[in-house]
C-alpha cells in the first residue's frame, strides 16, 4: 500500500506562489497538480483568475496542461510499481 502525500493549505500556497515573482509557471503547475489531487477544497475561479492576471489566459492553459501531464505521469509511475 502506497503513501499519499498532500499539500496543506493548497489555495493559500498557490496564491502566495503566484504573487511571488520568483516563481515561474513550471513551479505553479506543480502546485496546481498537487492542489487538484488534494482532498482540500480550492476555489479554482480565484486561483485561475490570479494566474490570468499574472501571466495571461494562454499562461493558464499552459499551467493546466502541465499540471495534468504531471498527474498522468505520477499515475503511470504508481501503476508501473504495482506490476
Residue spans of the domains in the chain: they are: 10-82
**What is the residue-level pLDDT of the chain in tens, covering all 83 positions?**
567 778 889 999 999 999 999 999 999 999 999 999 999 999 999 999 999 999 999 999 999 999 999 999 998 888 888 87
Using H for helix, E for strand and C for coil, what is the string for 29-70?
A: HHHHHHHHCCCCCCCHHHHHHHHHHHCCHHHHHHHHHHHHHH
Residue 34, CB half-sphere, CA atoms under 13 Å: how many?
17
Q: Check residue 9 and give left, alpha or beta (phi > 0: left; psi -120 to 50: alpha).
A: left
pLDDT at res. 2: 64
Read off the C-alpha cell for 26.
513550471
Amino acid at each position: 500500500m502506497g503513501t499519499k502525500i498532500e499539500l496543506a493549505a493548497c489555495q493559500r500556497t498557490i496564491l502566495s506562489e503566484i504573487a511571488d515573482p520568483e516563481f515561474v509557471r513550471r513551479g505553479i503547475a506543480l502546485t496546481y497538480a498537487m492542489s487538484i489531487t488534494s482532498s482540500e477544497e480550492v476555489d479554482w475561479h480565484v486561483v485561475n483568475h490570479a494566474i490570468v492576471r499574472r501571466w495571461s489566459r494562454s499562461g493558464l492553459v499552459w499551467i493546466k496542461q502541465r499540471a495534468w501531464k504531471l498527474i498522468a505521469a505520477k499515475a503511470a509511475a504508481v501503476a508501473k510499481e504495482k506490476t
